[in-house]
Amino acid sequence: MAEPKKMYISYNNIHKLCQKVAKEILAKNERPDIIIAITGGGMIPARIIRSFLKVKGEKNIPIQAIGLSLYEDMGVDDTVETIGKEVIRTQWLDFMALDKHFDSLIGKKVLIVDEVDDTRTTLHYAVTELEKEIEVQQKRLNRLNEETTLSVFVLHNKDKPKKADLPAKMMETGHYMAAVTVPDEWLCYPWEADDIEEHTELAKQQGND
Ligand SMILES: O=P(O)(O)OC[C@H]1O[C@H](OP(=O)(O)OP(=O)(O)O)[C@H](O)[C@@H]1O
């Protein structure tokens, strides 16, 4: 089988994509109260966008990390059709280190960040689990009237059939933000590059600098 086409992305390009989306978020007056980075790919974009979301006189937005990894689930029957991908949770939210008023996500604007939306399996898992958790806490604390807004920011959305969905409301209200939609190619991020100079040059040649 032929190798899929490779798309090289530079650090500068990532920086600019974060800046573009941050501007859009601030223009809509939807500065998040908390950023949730999906490790590992979401960590660098989360850190960059936080700086662009900084507003004078306002506290820095806290970043929390959740660890989600796609695990090849070979199925019981070893045929191609049964091969799926399962999400494994390796790390979750921890409010202990935050300001004491920040005891949950209830009533907050939450920005979930990852680098790529490929089959959408990971984002679906993250959003579903966070929604479930918020609902449980709302019931427990009797805070049912507070509205929580979950948004998603990814650098790249691959234009392909997805294996899972995100809430229709999120998609319809502009709370799903992909800096760019790209063909279903092999995305080469700079943090994986052996030779960053060569990588950056290839990204430049493709206009991704
Ligand atoms: O849309 P999906 O098909 O779910 O794929 C996207 C996910 O896959 C990658 O994570 P991976 O599990 O490879 O871990 P990593 O971020 O640590 O590299 C990537 O960082 C996304 O989280």
Using a 6 Å CB cutoff, which residues line ligand 1?
38-41, 69-70, 114-122
Closest protein CA for atom 21 of ligand 1: 116
Domain boundaries, the chain: 11-180
Catalytic option among 33, 77, 118, 194: 118
| Neighbour count for residue 106 (Cβ, 10 Å) | 17
ipTM above 0.85, yes or no: yes
C-alpha span between 47 and 113 (Å, rounded): 10
118 is catalytic: yes
Q: Each residue's pLDDT tens digit in the chain (209 positions)? A: 677 899 999 999 999 999 999 999 999 999 999 999 999 999 999 999 999 999 999 999 999 999 998 887 655 555 444 446 789 999 999 888 777 778 899 999 999 999 999 999 999 999 999 999 999 999 999 999 999 999 999 999 999 999 999 999 999 999 999 999 999 999 999 999 999 999 999 999 999 98
Coil, strand, or helix at residue 72? strand
> How much of the chain is in helix, strand and coil states, percent to nearest 5?
35, 25, 40
Q: Domain 11-180 belongs to what topology?
A: Rossmann fold (3.40.50)
| Neighbour count for residue 15 (Cβ, 10 Å) | 16
